[in-house]
Structure 1
Amino acid sequence: MIGYVTLGVSDMDKAKTFYSELLHDLGAKVLLDMGRIAFIGESMSTPMLAVCIPFNEAPNHPGNGNMVAISVGSKEAVDAYYQKAIALGAVCDGQPGQRIEDQFYGAYVKDPDGNKLAFYVFG
């Protein structure tokens, strides 16, 4: 259903490096780089994350209530992706932990541009 999600950024090189390194273990890489926008994922036929300089060239602004959630497969992986994101320059927006009884385990960060990410596993 979802083809790609786009995040506005202020520095394309920094954003491509951050997301390529962060999502490398999930098989993601820069698939298409068009200068102002780059698509990161496993393949052009699976859901991707795009980073871009806003079309109107005004500063990017993270949305209040917007978030990209990335399924990573296990509680240990949630912890690892959270730590990796922090090491790559993200800031904590909610440490790893059980959220909804035994149904949801997640962690939250904001990327270097302030875009909110979640790493999670259900169950």
Structure 2
Amino acid sequence: MIGYVTLGTNDLQKAAAFYDVLLGQLGAARFMENERLIAWSTGPVGAGLAIVKPYDERPASAGNGTMVALQASSPGLVDKVYQKAVALGAKEEGEPGERGDIPGFYAGYFRDLDGNKLNVFYMPSPA
């Protein structure tokens, strides 16, 4: 359903270095790039994530209530990606752990270098 998500940035190269490492841990690589935008994906099928310098040339800002969720293949990978995000300078917004009333839902929350909120999560497939 979702083709891609874009997040605004005020420093394209700094944000790109953050996401190259972070999304690389989830198997993603750059698939599109120009002077205003860089996008990553895990392959030709599925959603991508992009960072962009706003086209209106006003400063980028994080949306209140907006969050991007990055799917991981295991709780261990959630922990690994979350810790890498923090090591790369992300702000902690909720350490990895079981969340809510959904059995097996495991997630960690953080904000990237521009203040955009993300989580990395694992949810087991229904039996």
The alpha carbon displacement at 1:77 in A equals 1.1
Contact 2:25 2:81 in 1 (8 A): no
The alpha carbon displacement at 1:45 in A equals 4.3
Q: Whole-Å Cα distance in 1 between the matches of residues 98 and 106 of structure 2?
A: 4
Given the two structures, how large is their TM-score scaled by the length of structure 1? Answer: 0.93
User: Aligned residue pairs: how many?
Assistant: 123
Q: Which moved more, 1:100-109 or 1:32-41?
A: 100-109
Given the two structures, how large is their TM-score scaled by the length of structure 2? Answer: 0.90
Q: Whole-Å Cα distance in 2 between the matches of residues 99 and 4 of structure 1?
A: 25
Q: Whole-Å Cα distance in 2 between the matches of residues 52 and 44 of structure 1?
A: 20
CA distance 1:94–1:52, change in 2 (3 Å): same
Name the amino acid aligned to 2:77: A
CA distance 1:72–1:12, change in 2 (3 Å): same
Alignment of 1:41-80 (within 5 A): 41-80=41-80
Q: Is the counterpart of residue 18 in structure 1 residue 44 in structure 2? A: no
Hey, what does 1:108 align to over in structure 2? 109
Q: Deviations over 1:66-103 (max 9, x none)?
A: 00001101111111111000011101001111112423
Once superposed, what is the RMSD of the aligned Cα atoms? 1.3
The runs of 5 or more residues in structure 2 that have no matched partner are: none
The runs of 5 or more residues in structure 1 that have no matched partner are: none
Hey, what does 2:89 align to over in structure 1? 89
Contact 1:62 1:115 in 2 (8 A): yes
Name the amino acid aligned to 2:93: D
Percent of paired sites with the same residue = 44
Contact 1:16 1:30 in 2 (8 A): no
SS of the aligned residue for 1:17 comes to: helix
